């Protein structure tokens, strides 16, 4: 029986082994999963391609996210809630009756966030996930887009 059954969970746990150990184990994982799925090699190849340099890119993304959240924290309609566990998930509470429309206003400026987790006439709560896509635009431009989208219409 194959010791690896899932492309999506096993490689994540193996990242701490180092690149060479990871690559060997990853190859075994792909081979074992081939019988269960038609395209595991495709997804595995993409993941392996982006593994090199990931920690550096994610570090830059985290720094950019910190700058965004600091700017939002200073905005009068926002409350930023960060976990003490230092995850890449941040809660954003936005005050205002039109707060739930923030995703649409941001999308008009080329930024996508998920719809509100909760909304009421007083405001809305969003879950923002920091990842490498934040590096696609200068952080000052992203902050400006958020600030403009937070202004009442």
Per-residue pLDDT reduced to its tens digit, 92-124: 999 999 999 999 999 999 999 999 999 999 999
Per-residue pLDDT reduced to its tens digit, 15-70: 333 444 444 444 444 444 444 456 777 888 888 887 888 889 999 999 999 999 99
Which residues are within 8 A (CB) of 150 and not within 5 positions of it... i.e. 6 or more apart? Answer: 75, 77, 78, 94, 102
- If one counts every other C-beta atom within 10 angstroms of the C-beta of residue 126, the result is 22
Domain boundaries, the chain: 10-52, 55-150
The CATH number of the structural domain formed by 55-150 is 3.90.1150.10
């Amino acid at each position: 029986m194959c010791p690896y059954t899932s492309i999506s969970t096993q490689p994540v746990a193996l990242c701490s082994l180092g690149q060479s150990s990871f690559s060997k184990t990853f190859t075994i994982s792909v081979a074992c999963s081939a019988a269960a799925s038609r395209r595991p090699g495709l997804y595995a190849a993409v993941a392996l391609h982006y593994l090199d340099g990931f920690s550096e890119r994610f570090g830059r993304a985290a720094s950019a996210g910190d700058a965004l959240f600091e700017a939002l924290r200073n905005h009068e309609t926002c409350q930023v809630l960060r976990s003490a566990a230092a995850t890449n998930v941040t809660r954003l509470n936005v005050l205002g009756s039109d707060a739930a429309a923030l995703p649409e206003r941001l999308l008009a400026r080329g930024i996508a966030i998920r719809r509100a987790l909760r909304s009421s006439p007083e405001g809305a709560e969003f879950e923002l996930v920091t990842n490498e896509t934040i590096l696609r635009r200068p952080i000052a431009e992203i902050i400006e887009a958020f600030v403009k989208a937070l202004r009442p219409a």
